[in-house]
Amino acid sequence: MLRKRQTGSKKAPTISTASLPDIIFMLLFFFMVATVLRETTLKVRVVVPEATELQKLEKKSLVSYIYIGPPMPQYVQQYGTAPRIQLNDVIADIKDVIPFVESERAQLPEQLQPFMTISLRVDTGVKMGIVTDVKQELRKANALKINYSARKRVHAL
């Protein structure tokens, strides 16, 4: 059998770049859809306490957060240094807790409203008086599922 030898050198075929814009836009859309941006801008400082026995919340869509802590440095001039309550993006008074709970409950479908949970994110240096006042208002609003946010203790005592 006779074989024919090629005398010329083989060149690698060129790579087509026509589909690169499609790939880039697909990646861009993926990250735009998959990325969750922070919904609330914190105006109070919250360093949650440490705990050993923690439970992760299953449905975060049913959780509404109330932040309690001293104002951030850029807001001290406006709000002072005393601990404040933050509901969504607004520094609020204790009387605003009930309307906040009602508006959060109204955003949920009717069958999921009984499962709504209020998570209190309280700074470690806050006195319990303001936390107790918030809990009393939550009782008046019939928001009885309350959760305290904490971080996992790194080392046990």
Q: Rounded distance, CA 2 to CA 112, Å?
A: 80
Residue 16 located in a structural domain = no
> How many domains would you assign to the chain?
1
Task: Look up residue 81 and give its two tokens.
Answer: 């240094």
- Coil, helix or strand for 51? strand
Task: Kindly tell me the sign of the dihedral angle through the C-alpha atoms of 88, 99, 126, 83.
Answer: positive
Each residue of 5-31: pLDDT tens digit?
666 667 777 888 888 889 999 999 888
Residue 67: in which H helix or E strand, if any? strand 63-69
CATH number at residue 114: 3.30.420.270
Each residue of 39-65: pLDDT tens digit?
778 999 999 999 988 888 888 889 999
Per the structure, the complete domain to which residue 76 belongs is given by 58-151
Residue 43 located in a structural domain = no
How high is the pLDDT of residue 60? 85
From residue 130, alpha-carbon distances to 52, 71, 77, 80, 127 in Å are 24, 14, 21, 16, 7
